[in-house]
Amino acid sequence: MFWQSILGIWLTLVILASFLYMPATQGLGESGRIIIYHVPAAWVAVLAYLMAMVNSLNYLRRKDLRFDRQAQINAELGTVFCVLATITGAIWSRGAWGWYWNWDPRQTSIAVLLMIYAAYFVLRGTVEDPERRANLAAVYALFAFLTVPFLVFIVPRIYDSLHPDLINMEKRTFDMDKKMLVVFLASLAGFTGLYGWLYNIRLRVENLLHRLEGKKEVI
Amino acid sequence: MVIRRFPWIRQSLVIWHKELRIEFRTRFAYSTLLMFAVTTLITISFSVGGFVPDSDITAALLWIILFFSAMAGLGRTFVQEEEKKTITALKMAVAPEPVFLGKYFFNVTLLCSLTVLVVPLFLVLLNQSVPLWAPFLTTVFLGALGLAGASTIIAAIVAKTEAKSAMMTILAFPVLVPLLLATINATRICLAGAPGTAPTTELLLLLFYNGAVVTASLLLFEYIWNE
Amino acid sequence: MLTQVKVHNLTKAYRHRLLFRNLSFIIPDQSVFVLLGRNGAGKTTFLRILCGLVPASAGQVEITVDGKILMPQEKRTHLGLVAPDLELYGELSAVENLEFFAGVRGIPFSLTKARDLLDFVGLRGRGHDLVHTYSSGMKQRLKYAYALLHEPKILVLDEPTTNLDEDGVQLVDSIIERQRRRGIVIMATNEPREVSYGDQTLSLDTAESGNLA
């Protein structure tokens, strides 16, 4: 309860600061404030998906259904944050360049990631046996994830990228206002905490459901 | 690992031969592939009429036809072994990797023999010339190879699910997006044939894609097969 | 040299249902082991675990052939399985089926060998017919040809006489007798006639604690 309250207050402060404390960005104007939500959402999506990969590998190695539950939860959370990142990205894109969607390499990759996980959940839905479901889902997730990096090479050949880079490669500096950086980092921490909290709750629910199923089948 | 690889090749050729023999008798997969490709091709040609479409569109059409044909024709690669219970006999006799390779070789054979018929027909019906024919043939070959590779392991997954027929396209499409983007772009470049252009990046990418797909499949196939 | 099957603390639970727990016993060379149990007791599952087709929940099966403990991938060379959930390729003839399995197993194959084997299981003259034209009894006979093709040390039979006529039942008797001299037979059955062949019998109905019946 204590950490939940801290997290709630923290995120509230981040939201307030993103509108009141932080100045509008140069170049991107007021719509640039969305960076405080867009980048952390994308970061959590990547984090959760990577955790799902680790869980899937662990499942294949140890064949313990606990890892499968973890993989499933991480895939779910990854997808939720991935959808958030996609939507905030599209809004930002509209504000900055005038259209919601332009098959930017990052938009393409994120769309393909969403398709992979949509397929992943459909696959899970069509297999009844828990061990078989865990096995197939893990293999599919690992196999599909492997093909994502190829997009990075092929998509720029077809469409140019408009996406801004946060890290300026030439000057090796972080292109961000100091006040903005503080809010941004606070948001990053807040989103990561939110992910950890959601993950914990989902895991407890899934473990309880698993135990409940055990009770049911004995009868 | 290295010592075991040589029997793999020989065993996988035995499996490939068995697949061919059964396919010659039933013609199930090949007729599905061919009928699917030809019907879509004729529909497209019919609706296009005398109008010669832009090479951007032609390139996409070609790979849409090949993609959906592969989904329709290769989806049953493992379903039959599962449904007719021959899978147990096979498991008792041979390791998983040769099974994957044998089925993969067979799917490559099927798709290559499909492209040999469909691609010329496609070029004729849509009135396309190919200025860069050597890169074009390479693209078609590497594309067919990649389609067969990804389809093989996805078909193995599909055979273990309860909604077999619907799953193939759903599972295969996200995996095949990089391949399709690369082949479509390469085909576009080859058909347009602007001076000084060549689909080098695309061909390299296709090469690496094929390598990655086959390697990953060999590592992961065991987990599906011994399910 | 020593050939034996050692089952140690074998347990299998399917989801939350326990099939058997802590089975431990040794099947010595030149013997017939019979597994009994009502339908759904887990006989087939036990045989599938033994063949390495499904994993056990706990415990292990250790197969020793000629004094050497087999690695999982070596099991294929020394095990032959006949079971209702195992079928041969219907679109191939009997001879082609045998040729294929000899091929993947990497053992020499000749038409003479196929003919001898098919004669032995009572399929003389039908070797070039496609298997899907066979009656179920003939298919069962062909499965014996498949299982004996690589002369395994251990023959695993699930319901050995399914679909067989009187002549076929006698064939199975002679195969079991022959295999007893060569190695080990492990079978799951409830037919009194086959049960009487067992040097050891184990009933899965009463085997929760792993006691041999």
pLDDT given for residue A161 in this prediction: 61
* pTM of the shown model: 0.91
| Gap from C114 CA to chain B (nearest CA, Å) | 17
Sheet architecture: strand order including C68-69: C17-27, C4-14, C58-65, C68-69
Give the C-alpha separation, A134 to A129, whole Å.
9
pLDDT above 80 (res B227): no
Between the CA of residue B222 and those of A126, B61, B101, B215, what are the distances in Å? 21, 35, 12, 12
| Gap from C124 CA to chain A (nearest CA, Å) | 42
pLDDT given for residue A164 in this prediction: 65
Q: Do B162 and A128 touch (CB under 8 A)?
A: yes
Question: Does C53 contact chain B (CB < 8 Å)?
Answer: yes
Average pLDDT over residues B186-190: 93
In single-letter form, the type of residue at position A33 comes to R
| Gap from B135 CA to chain A (nearest CA, Å) | 17
pLDDT above 90 (res B164): no
pLDDT above 60 (res A168): no
Q: Do A147 and B220 touch (CB under 8 A)?
A: no
pLDDT given for residue C130 in this prediction: 95
| Gap from A115 CA to chain B (nearest CA, Å) | 6
pLDDT given for residue B107 in this prediction: 96
Average pLDDT over residues B137-152: 96
Tens digit of each residue's pLDDT (9 = 90 or more) over B12-68:
999 999 999 999 998 888 998 999 999 999 998 888 876 777 888 899 999 999 999
pLDDT above 90 (res B203): yes
Q: Do A142 and B160 touch (CB under 8 A)?
A: no
Question: Does B220 contact chain A (CB < 8 Å)?
Answer: yes
Residue B105 or B192, more confident = B105
pLDDT above 80 (res A11): yes
Tens digit of each residue's pLDDT (9 = 90 or more) over A73-88:
999 999 999 999 999 9
pLDDT tens string, chain C, 213 residues long: the values are 688 999 999 998 877 778 888 889 999 999 999 999 888 888 999 999 999 998 888 898 999 998 889 988 888 999 999 999 999 999 999 999 999 999 999 999 999 999 999 999 999 999 999 999 999 999 999 999 999 999 999 999 999 999 999 999 999 999 999 999 999 999 999 888 888 888 999 888 875 544 443
Q: Which of A37-51, A94-108, B211-225 has the lowest mean pLDDT?
A: A94-108
pLDDT given for residue B2 in this prediction: 47
| Structure tokens, B12 | 């996988």
Q: Do A150 and B208 touch (CB under 8 A)?
A: yes
Q: Do C15 and A218 touch (CB under 8 A)?
A: no
Q: Residue C80 is part of a domain; what is its CATH number? A: 3.40.50.300
Which residue is closest to C17 within chain A, CA to CA?
A218
Question: Does C40 contact chain B (CB < 8 Å)?
Answer: no
Q: Which of A24-28, A178-182, B127-131 has the lowest mean pLDDT?
A: A24-28
Residue A11 three-state SS: helix
Q: Which of A23-32, B138-147, B182-191 has the lowest mean pLDDT?
A: A23-32
Closest CB to C91 among B17, B25, B94: B25
Question: Does B185 contact chain A (CB < 8 Å)?
Answer: yes
Average pLDDT over residues A148-173: 66
Is C118:C127 a contact under the CB 8 Å cutoff? yes
Share the mean pLDDT of chain B: 90
pLDDT given for residue C211 in this prediction: 40
Q: Residues with Cβ < 8 Å from C146, sequence gap 6 or more?
A: B89, C80, C82, C88, C97, C98, C101
Which residue is closest to C73 within chain B, CA to CA?
B95
Share the mean pLDDT of chain A: 86
Judging contacts by C-beta atoms under 8 Å, the chain A residues touching residue B153 are 139, 143
Question: Does A214 contact chain C (CB < 8 Å)?
Answer: yes
Q: Which of A21-25, B77-81, C69-73, C199-203 has the lowest mean pLDDT?
A: A21-25
Residue B217 three-state SS: helix
Domain tally, chain C: 1
- Sequence ranges of the domains in chain A: 30-218
State the number of CA atoms in the 13 A half-sphere of B84 facing the CB. 17
Q: Do C106 and B11 touch (CB under 8 A)?
A: yes
In a domain, C195, yes or no: yes
In a domain, C180, yes or no: yes
List all chains that touch chain C, counting a touch as 3 or more CB pairs closer than 8 Å. Answer: A, B
pLDDT above 80 (res A215): no
Q: pLDDT category, A35, cuts 50, 70, 90?
A: confident
Between the CA of residue C133 and those of B33, B64, B129, C136, C169, what are the distances in Å? 27, 40, 50, 9, 22
pLDDT given for residue C208 in this prediction: 54
Q: Which of B171, B176, B188 to mutate to test the interface with A (most CBs of A within 10 A)?
A: B171
Q: Which of A104, A133, A136, A155 to mutate to test the interface with B (most CBs of B within 10 A)?
A: A136
Which residue is closest to C84 within chain B, CA to CA?
B85
Q: What is the 3-state secondary structure (H, E, C) of C51-93?
A: CCCCCCCEEEEEEEECCEECCHHHHHHHEEEECCCCCCCCCCE
pLDDT given for residue A93 in this prediction: 84
pLDDT given for residue C212 in this prediction: 42
CA nearest to C83, candidates C163, C192, C170: C163
Is B162:A126 a contact under the CB 8 Å cutoff? yes
In a domain, C212, yes or no: no
Q: Which of A122, A126, A131, A148 to mutate to test the interface with B (most CBs of B within 10 A)?
A: A126
pLDDT given for residue B3 in this prediction: 46
Question: Does A217 contact chain C (CB < 8 Å)?
Answer: yes
- Sequence ranges of the domains in chain B: 2-225
Question: Does C56 contact chain B (CB < 8 Å)?
Answer: no
Closest CB to B170 among A122, A135, A147: A122
